[in-house]
Chain A
Amino acid sequence: MRGGTVIAANTTTGILALLEPDDSVRDALLTLLHGQGWVVEVATDAKELGKLLQAWDVTAVISEASMPGAAASEILGVCSARHVPVIFTGHDQRVQAAVDLVRQGADDYLDKPFSHQRLLDLLNRLTRAH
């Protein structure tokens, strides 16, 4: 039994884990997601993410594909092992990286800058499936 029940389910949309190295992008995402009732836990590498997923009933992970401290494949591995969907974000316009991650099981890949609505739509879909 994981710890997500500490927070009453009716007051929050759910719990997300976020990995984003850029302070301003992270702050903007936190503001957006908090505004939608999400509780957001921040991690900086795969190990931290693993601990988070173990401790909380996380609905989805949102992760920058090129985190300085963790390869995207490593993050994907942690998420797959816990059956938590992961949405990658990226800014280097590399089609191959996006395609490979989605083929390997990532739920989606959003090319930065992406529309906030697009992210929220994705999260809504994942919430229904959760």
Chain B
Amino acid sequence: MRRGGRICIIDDDEAIREALRLLLSAAGISSHLYASADEFLARTDNRLFDCVLLDIRMPGMDGLGLFQHLLRERAQYPVIFITGHGDIPLAVGAIKQGAFDFLTKPFREGELLEKVNAAIQHFRDQKDQRELRQELSCRMESCTPRERDVMRLMVAGLHNKDIGEELQISPRTVEIHRAQVMAKMQAESLPALVRMTASLGIFPDGGGDQGT
């Protein structure tokens, strides 16, 4: 697992902010500190964080308010709420809205690091997947409409002869298109191509005979 990460800590209690910063920096994780939701919103324009540690109860806009604001902005990073004892309805509500996890005060150092690392990993996995999908759609874009027709039928498991009949082109032409598809998609095998189209969510019905 990759080390490091950029964490954002938003808590109105300075002692807690500092304690969190120290614990995280000892584990090689750098953090940015904010004393309130408003300060966070005012001071950060480029919010590239791997994880946000957010106190649920703060004066001014509270943690839940900021979380909802971030949801509306479609912020992608995982949020771990810091909460006191017994805020169960609040905690459950936030998790159902997509918060990553909760940290209940008082917490152990190991617990903090475990959750933050899980959040960082989760964020990176999601980012990798998004980038992979983006890259795959670029490759997809580079194919001609006819190549995409051939790809759809390849993914559906048709042989060159059948693809040719379906598209009313010669098997030889299919072969050329097929090679182009594999090259443009950078697929080393048919199963790899099938996985790529599946992760893009295209051809979900496995082809079929529309498009003739």
Residues of A within 8 A of B (CB): 90, 93, 95-96, 98-99, 102-103, 108-109, 111
Contact = CB atoms under 8 A, between A and B. Distances in A.
A95 B88 contact: yes
A122 B92 CA distance: 14
Nearest to A99: B102
11 contacts: A93-B85, A95-B85, A95-B91, A96-B102, A96-B104, A99-B95, A102-B92, A108-B92, A109-B88, A111-B86, A111-B88
B117 interface: no
B145 interface: no
Interface in B133-166: none
Contact of A103 (B86, B95, B104): B95
Contacts, number: 34
A96 B83 CA distance: 10
* B contact residues, range: 10 to 19
B205 interface: no
Given A93-B88, A96-B104, A99-B91, 13 more contacts: A90-B88, A95-B83, A95-B87, A95-B91, A95-B104, A96-B102, A98-B91, A99-B95, A99-B102, A102-B95, A108-B92, A109-B92, A111-B86
Contacts of B88: 90, 93, 95, 98, 109, 111
B101 interface: yes
B208 interface: no
A105 to B, nearest CB: 11
A111 B135 CA distance: 46
A102 B91 CA distance: 10
Contacts of A99: 91-92, 95, 101-102
Contacts of A108: 92, 96
B113 to A, nearest CB: 16
Nearest to B85: A93
Given A102-B95, A103-B95, A111 B89 contact: yes
Q: Which of A90, A93, A95, A108 has the most CB of B within 10 A?
A: A95
